Amino acid sequence: MKTFSVKFLPDDKTVQATAGKSVLEAAIVAGIPINSVCGGDGVCGKCRVIVKSGQVEAEPNVFLTRREIQRGMALACRTFIQGDLVIEVPLESRVGGVPQLASEDAVRFGRISERVGEGAVFARNPLCRKEYLELSAPCLDDNISDQERLYRELRQRRDLPIMQMGLAILQKLPDLLRKSDWKATALLGHRGGTTEVMDVEAGNTSQKQLGIALDVGTTTVVAHLVDLQSSETLATQAKYNSQISLGDDVISRIMYSSTDTRRKQLRDLIVNDINDLIAGLMMASKVRLHDVTYIVCAGNTTMVHLLLGLDPANIRRDPYVPCVSLPPAIRAVEIGIKINPRGLLLALPSVSSYVGGDVVADVLVTGMTDSPDLSLLIDMGTNGELVIGNAEWLVCCSASAGPAFEGGGITCGMRATRGAIEHLTLSAGGAIAEVSIVGGGKPLGICGSGLIDAIAELLRNGCIDRRGRFVETACGGKLREAESGEPEIVLFPGDQTALGKDIVLTEADINNFIHSKGAIYMAAECLMAHVDLSFNDLKHVYIAGGFGNYLNIERGVEIGLLPDIERQKFHFVGNGSVQGAKIVLLSRDALAYVQTRIADAMTYFELSSDHKYMNEYSSCLFLPHTNIEKFPSLRNKIGAGGGTPAAAPSAGPRRSATAGSARRK
Amino acid sequence: MTMLEEAKEKWTGAINEVVIGATKAEGGTRAAGVTIGGDKSLPFMHYEAPIKNRPIVALEVWDREPDDWPQPLMEALGDAVKSPVAWAKKGIEEFGADLICLKLMSTHPDFGDATAKDAVQTVKAVLAATSAPLIIWGCEHDEKDNEVLPRCSEAAKGEKCLMGVVTEDNYKTLVASCIADGHSLIGLSPIDINIAKQINILVMEMGFPANRIVMYPTTGALGYGLEYCYSIQERGRVAALSGDKMMAMPVICMVGQEAWHAKEARAPKEEAPDWGDEKTRGLFWEIATAVALLEAGSDILVLRHPAAIKATKDTINKLMA
């Protein structure tokens, strides 16, 4: 088979590829992160590239306009190599950049940091920790073995009935103890009732005990380097999950992982991401990799399966059974993660195929299981998860909200990275009054929080009706017909944007978003009804997920995403996965708690089995809701038959919008 | 023996009253208007609340001769189907319909593509030929309706017609016309109580009065979703009586259109020898559907067969007695 060279710009990377392979496949080999929501099925239209020169064979598609095709634009997954190529990957098609770290904002939600340590709920006792020992030298009166000597010393300090030591440690033990003058540090790992001496180091290294809390998300991967002695976070790193190039959501990745080779490919991608993040943490904090001995990760069930190299196929097959819900602690090196070669990796337990360790971590972070108060947790994302309960009980469900919150399925949608419109205020006629863009500069696209703002503001100004359709007379000439024939509003004309391309919002975009927000609200309502309670019974509503952190509550209520209850009941959790992983990293008690009080205590409620869901779903496909009486505080603003909604924005959103701008660097 | 107390539902809401047709004194040319709605209980529960206005029956009249209606129906209607004026006149004077539902079928691009001007002439002629109230129904092709119906609305200004239909995707043009010309409106929703309500809200947010809206939650004939439509209508009515003002609109049902679409109504004798007399089969199908939907709380039944009009009116009389 003929091979050709494919050069990618602006990266200037060249790879060899056989004829007939797709440009997307070549890009994956080259390590160029191309956005491919559908995983190469040719149905999302996001993997746009420009063929600068060379011979290709392209399948026809509906995503590109005639003008774009004339400019050489092509879909990477539907364009096949027929000669030496030069391919440009435009900014909009890159899974690039660094995601926004939500954790800094989570500090506002002060309870997290108070969960571990003296006087807190959980004692600081990591599952993996170091113990400095000064052993007495052997003599004829005391000539027990080196191993027994070490055990004896440890047992004098702690109650450790069962201890183990591997052959590799034994092999180096005699020499090490004698050379270090019987002063050594033992690295201990606890599994069930057994304590393993994982490593022995010469001298006192007990001051150097580091762990990593990891959030393995479908979209983003976040790592925090934590000093296990002081609980201090030394550095943080985040990046997009490289598996995105093989599928945007868990289902498409499960489908992709159908063979051993592909499963390995997926695992390698995430493991490389994690190793990259760890390397970044080391650089930033100037510590030694050798001192990192423990990783705790939280992720949804599928992501944990893919990380551990387990077959996730049954997760999406009736009756939806995962391979494991409580994965054992393993050596990180076994799956290729580079920390101390003896170091452990632990994944938080999951509840079911669709309620994973990430949700368990969220619940841990909120502390809702410590209190008799009724709380609702909403983790917003492509697969939304909701948990309701208190110290006595927990019920959860998952809601497929679609990718709109992360910018998917939206013409100018993007994730919350540099260039994304994060907050927006409009004035009459849909003119931009205030805008804040991640990282500043010109806008590139619009992310979830920006969409919420845009839709809420269009509604406030009467530019759209409550069904999400444009009202031509109120759009001040900003409305036009898209190439597809549907109406769209131009938020930013090309001369004000980063790519010189208009940033628009189409009726289909608004409609997609309404379906997403409707799915979340409906799930919350069904969950409440299932336990025979109402939103007014809630004392707290916790909003988790990277997207949730930047969400403007007032506008979230205005469009019917969030229930209309007192605004002070809402709290942002930020990245609950990484915070929860951190708590477990620091406390073995927290691990037991997570298992018994959260994962085991949670009852999964299948929404699709609920008649109410299908009957009432269409009532949520309205702004804010068909039954306005469910949104009493909005009644005066968008009163029944009260004409167009009030145009003046209330004080609430403004305040939050300022806070949002201040957060950006 | 102790007396059992009569169990009565205590409703807090009521169905809106909608008036169709205006007399000379009211600015129109009708002999009398007809009022629907006003119920304060489930249908025909006389002991709970007096029923103010009885359900009414409209004759479905087309502006072009139907070419696929079954023979027994065409025979019953006779030559009148050749002219909407004669058809409407016969409907009121001979068949006993309370009002006419004029469907502007010929304006549809696929069925003649008649102009707005043609439609206006038909509307004017029908209004001149009878003094009964009029329902004006477009061809349900959004663009064409938006062109034709505003002109018809203007031509019938002051007559307090009932005009339709508006949907979630296409309502602004017709709502604006009906506000200007004083007509009432029909909101179409595809057997979905939420969408029915959403249309009412959208229309009212344009400033349209609630007491000029009639809901068309779509109709299913006997054996073709009747029970589904029945329960949607019933749910709507229960919501309205429970105080949901956004669901308090009276309901119109296209019974004839659906019943005569059923295989059982259409099949000629040769195709279904065991199904009984071809002459009455379709008629019975229409009557059965109409009578069931009366019980669901329909306010206007639009029928096709003269005998179905008579039978349905007889049933209404009995239920009201």
Cα–Cα distance, A479 to A491 (Å, whole number):
9
Evaluated on CA atoms A306, A308, A311, A317, the torsion sign reads negative
Beta strands in A313-393 (DSSP E): 330-331, 344-347, 375-379, 383-389
pLDDT at A110: 39
φ, ψ of residue A500 to 5 degrees: the values are 75, 10
Cα–Cα distance, A366 to A542 (Å, whole number):
7
Mean pLDDT of B82-95: 97
- Taking an 8 Å cut-off on Cβ atoms, the answer to whether A640 and B169 are in contact is no
For chain A, which domains are there?
3-93 (3.10.20.30), 128-202 (3.10.20.880), 213-357 (3.30.420.480), 367-401+517-620 (3.30.420.40), 404-513+645-663 (no CATH)
Which of B169, B198, B245 is the closest to A626 by Cβ? Answer: B198
pLDDT at A308: 96
Cα–Cα distance, A248 to A37 (Å, whole number):
4
Q: Are A54 and A72 in contact (CB under 8 A)?
A: no
Cα–Cα distance, A546 to A524 (Å, whole number):
19
φ, ψ of residue A187 to 5 degrees: the values are -95, 115
For residue range B225-260, list pLDDT tens digits in order: 999 999 999 999 999 999 999 999 999 999 999 999
Q: Collapsing DSSP states into helix, strand and coil, what is residue A240?
A: strand
Residue B37, pLDDT > 70, answer: yes
Sheet holding A194-202, edge to edge: A128-134, A183-191, A194-202, A162-165
Which of B163-185 are b and which e, b meaning 16 or more Cβ less than 10 Å from the residue's Cβ? bbbbbbebbbbbbebbbebbbbb
Residue B38, pLDDT > 50, answer: yes
Residue B203, pLDDT > 90, answer: yes
Distances A527 to A351, A551, A612 between C-alpha atoms, Å: 17, 22, 10
Give A441: exposed, middle or buried? Use CB within 10 Å, 0-12, 13-18, 19+. exposed
φ, ψ of residue A348 to 5 degrees: the values are -65, 145
pLDDT at B5: 83
DSSP string, B24-52: GGGTS-BS--EEEE--SSSTT-TTTS---
Rg (CA), chain A: 27
pTM above 0.95, yes or no: no
- Taking an 8 Å cut-off on Cβ atoms, the answer to whether A643 and B195 are in contact is no
Share of chain A above pLDDT 90, in %: 59
Mean pLDDT of B111-122: 96
- Taking an 8 Å cut-off on Cβ atoms, the answer to whether B205 and A641 are in contact is yes
β-pair type (A420-427, A431-437): antiparallel
For residue A249, give the nearest of A405, A378, A360 by alpha carbon.
A405
pLDDT at A438: 86
Distances B135 to B62, B102, B123, B199 between C-alpha atoms, Å: 12, 6, 10, 19
Cα–Cα distance, A216 to A242 (Å, whole number):
11
pLDDT at A547: 67
Q: What six digits make up the tokens of A593? A: 């708690």
Place of tokens 């994690």: A274
For residue A490, give the nearest of A473, A474, A478, A506 by alpha carbon.
A478
**Structure-model confidence comparison of residues B215 and A402, the more confident one:** B215
pLDDT at A32: 80
Which of B198, B205, B246 is the closest to A643 by Cβ? Answer: B205
For chain B, which domains are there?
17-320 (3.20.20.20)
Cα–Cα distance, A582 to A294 (Å, whole number):
11
Cα–Cα distance, A400 to A402 (Å, whole number):
6
Tell whether B168 is within 8 A of chain A (Cβ).
yes
Cα–Cα distance, A148 to A85 (Å, whole number):
66
pLDDT at A303: 96
pLDDT at A550: 77
Q: For chain A, which ranges sit under pLDDT 70?
A: 37, 95-114, 546-549, 636-665
**Measured between CA atoms, how close is B175 to chain A, in angstroms?**
13
Q: What six digits make up the tokens of B297? A: 């709380």
Tell whether B170 is within 8 A of chain A (Cβ).
no
**Measured between CA atoms, how close is B292 to chain A, in angstroms?**
23
pLDDT at A551: 86
Q: Taking CB atoms and an 8 Å cutoff, what residues of chain B touch A471?
A: 172
Q: Give the chain A residue whose CA is nearest to the CA of B198.
A: A626
Within the 177-196 window of chain B, which residues sit less than 8 Å (CB to CB) from chain A? 192, 194-195
ipTM of the complex: 0.85
Tell whether B207 is within 8 A of chain A (Cβ).
yes
Cα–Cα distance, A17 to A84 (Å, whole number):
9
Mean pLDDT of B149-166: 97
